Amino acid sequence: MVKKNLIEQRFAVLDEIDSGLDVDAMKSTALSINGFRNPETSVLLITHYQRLLEHVEPNHIHVLIDGSIAMSGGKELAREVELKGYEGTFGSLKGAGSYEKKFS
């Protein structure tokens, strides 16, 4: 379904596409996303969980807090948030969205 709707699109926003999916459906969805990735297609993939990123290789990861980018990095940033949680990664979350820093 994902692939059918995204063929020939130049930009796609996939908002929590992994929400409520079991493991098999999530893997199938990831295969579809990977199937239409190419240099002419941009995808904004919004998720609260790192598990989809085990099957879809992101170019960039941005963590938003309070509507602003709090941190940017690669796949390792998603792993860090998954392991430590938001507060463990960012410390106090109050006002955390007011700055941007790079994760390396």
Q: What is the largest CA-CA distance in the chain?
A: 43
Alpha-carbon distance 53 to 65, whole Å? Answer: 20
Q: Are residues 2 and 32 in the same domain?
A: yes
Alpha-carbon distance 94 to 16, whole Å? Answer: 24
Q: Are residues 12 and 23 in the same domain?
A: yes
Confidence of residue 16 (pLDDT cuts 50, 70, 90): very high
What confidence tens digit (pLDDT) does each residue in 43-97 have? 899 988 888 888 998 889 998 888 888 889 988 899 898 899 888 888 755 554 4
pTM above 0.85, yes or no: no
Confidence of residue 5 (pLDDT cuts 50, 70, 90): low
Residue of 61, 60, 67 whose CA lies nearest to 96: 67
Q: Are residues 67 and 55 in the same domain?
A: no
Q: Are residues 25 and 66 in the same domain?
A: no
pLDDT at 103: 52
pLDDT at 33: 86
pLDDT at 98: 46
Q: What is the CA radius of gyration of the chain?
A: 15
Alpha-carbon distance 29 to 55, whole Å? Answer: 9
Q: Are residues 34 and 17 in the same domain?
A: yes
Number of separate domains in the chain: 2
Signed CA dihedral, 23, 8, 35, 73: sign only: negative
Residue 79 is part of which domain span?
Answer: 60-104
Q: Are residues 50 and 72 in the same domain?
A: no
pLDDT at 39: 87
What confidence tens digit (pLDDT) does each residue in 23-55 have? 999 999 999 888 878 888 888 999 888 888 889
SS3 content of the chain, % helix, strand, coil (to 5): 40, 20, 40
Q: Are residues 43 and 66 in the same domain?
A: no
